[in-house]
Amino acid sequence: MRKTFNLLFICLIALYGWIGYQVIHTTDLPQCQPKGSLSDVAEEVIAIPLKTNGHCSLNKIKMIKRDREDIFLVSDRQLYHFNSSGQFLGQITAHLPGTRQPVELVDYAVDPVHDRLVVIGTGHEVYYYDYDGQLLFQSILPQDASWKTFGHMAYYNNHLWTTIDLVNSENKQAPSIEQWLYKFDLYFNEVGKRKLDVADLGRMDINYKTGTEIAVKNGHVYVQAPSLQPAHILNDTLYLINSNQLTITEDYAKILPLQIGTRFLISTHYDPTLPERSYTFCYDQRRTKAYHVQGGLDDNFYKTGKILELQSIDLQSNTYCYYKSGKELAYSFPDLTNKDNPVLFIVKMKA
Q: Is residue 158 part of a domain?
A: yes
Q: Is residue 344 part of a domain?
A: yes
Q: Is residue 14 part of a domain?
A: no
User: What pLDDT does residue 322 have?
Assistant: 97
Q: Is residue 7 part of a domain?
A: no
Find the CATH number of the domain harbouring 268: 2.40.128.630
Decide if 301 contacts 348 (C-beta within 8 A): no
State which residues form the domain around 333.
30-349
What is the model's pLDDT at position 194? Answer: 96
Residue 8 in any domain: the answer is: no
Q: Name every residue whose Cβ is closer than 8 Å to that of residue 112 and which is 6 or more positions away in sequence.
A: 67, 68, 155
Q: Look at residue 182 in the predicted model and tell me its pLDDT.
A: 96
Q: What is the pLDDT of residue 151?
A: 83
Q: What is the mean pLDDT of each run of 10 residues along the chain (351 residues)?
A: 49 45 53 92 98 87 96 94 96 76 89 96 90 93 77 95 87 82 96 95 86 95 94 95 96 96 96 83 96 96 95 97 96 94 98 94
Q: How many residues does the chain have?
A: 351
* Domain-embedded: residue 22: no
The answer to the question of residue 4 being in a domain is no
Residue 45 lies in a domain: yes
> d(Cα 125, Cα 139) in Å, to the nearest integer?
6
Q: What is the pLDDT of residue 195?
A: 96
Alpha carbon separation from 331 to 56, 324, 334, 339 (Å, rounded): 24, 12, 6, 17
- In the chain, the number of structural domains is 1
Residue 17: CB atoms within 10 A of its CB come to 11
Q: In the prediction, which pLDDT does 38 show?
A: 98
